[in-house]
Every structure is written in structure tokens, then in C-alpha cells.
Amino acid sequence: MSPRPVVAVFNGPNLDLLGEREPEIYGEGTLGDLEDLCRTAAEAHHYDLDFRQTNHEGVLLESLHEIRHTAYGLVLNAAGWTHTSVAIHDALALVRCPVVEVHLSDVHAREPFRVHSYVTPQAALVIVGRGPQGYADAIDALPGLWAHRREG
Ligand code: CA2
């Protein structure tokens, strides 16, 4: 039996504390709830789920290196690093599978510093402002995004 495709869902800083504050922006669910939702969405497509969160940028970079040749899809909420990190931009250039940038909130309708994203140029799809459902939508979109994959 061939192995199931693996979908990586990686989350950046502070998202481990989801549900603790600003429910009007981020909702009331926890990171555990988000993982459950992603697992259900992945299972519907018969994917394995590799769900991670880190508060350390180097850890995220090494996770991106680790999955760069093997993941079927990457769903990335880089949180605050979205707006600051050239290193994450550069690491995403090494990832072969389609990348979906996801944000729980509508980053385009908040403070001006949230509008620019270093992830967007590397993303096949950007989903903002749909809350946790955005992650499930990202997983559902992966088969259609394979047309956008980078060769090499
Ligand atoms: O909307 C998103 O998903 C963001 O990526 C969340 C980041 C923010 O810096 C981005 O601009 C947009 C912030 C994550 C904060 O995590 C929380 C922790 C506890 C309670 C609420 C949010």
C-alpha cells in the first residue's frame, strides 16, 4: 500500500495561546480545536496531518527544510513573522509543494503593518479572515493547487 500524502500545517508565534484573548478577532477556539478541525479535513482527503506550532523562528525554518521535498501541501500561518521574515520567504522558495498562506483574521483590514506579507510571494493561495475554517478550506484546495507547483 502506498503511503498517504502528508499535509503540513505550521503555525507561528503566540498561536499556542489562541483562545486566551481577543476572541473578537481570533475567535474562542484553542490551537487544539484548530488541530482537530485540520485533522478532520485531512482525513476526508485521506491525508496524514503534520500539525506544528512554534515560538522560535529557527525551529519553523528547520521544519520547512524538513518537509520541503516530502509534503503534499503546506498550510502556513506564520503569524507575526508573516510581516517581518525574509528568512521564511527564502525557506519557502525551497518548498516544492503548494503553499497556502492562512490567517485567522482579515490582515488586510487591520493595522497597516499587517498588510505586507513576506509569505504571499511564495503562496499559491492566500486565505484571510475566515477563522479556523480557512485552514480546512486550505486543505480542501490542495489538489487544485498542484497545477501551480514549482518544478525542480
Ligand atoms: O490572523 C492571523 O492568523 C494572524 O496571523 C495572527 C497573528 C498576527 O500577528 C497576524 O498579523 C495575523 C497573531 C497571533 C496571535 O495569537 C493569539 C494568541 C492568543 C490569543 C489570540 C491570538
| CATH number for the domain harbouring residue 70 | 3.40.50.9100
103 ligand 1 Cβ < 6 A:
yes
Which one of 72, 103, 118, 135 is the catalytic residue? 103
Closest atom of ligand 1 to 15 CA is 16
Give yes or no: 118 in active site: no
Residue 1 lies in a domain: no
Spatial strand order of the sheet with 125-128 comes to 48-53, 6-11, 73-77, 99-103, 125-128
pLDDT of residue 33: 98
21 ligand 1 Cβ < 6 A:
yes
- The low-confidence residues of the chain, meaning pLDDT below 50, are 152
34 ligand 1 Cβ < 6 A:
no
pLDDT of residue 149: 62
Question: 71 phi and psi, to 5 degrees?
Answer: -75, 145
Give yes or no: 26 in active site: yes
Residue 63 lies in a domain: yes
17 ligand 1 Cβ < 6 A:
yes
Q: Domain residues for 82?
A: 6-151
* Single pTM value for the model: 0.96
* Amino acid found at 81: W
Counted domains in the chain: 1
Residue 36 lies in a domain: yes
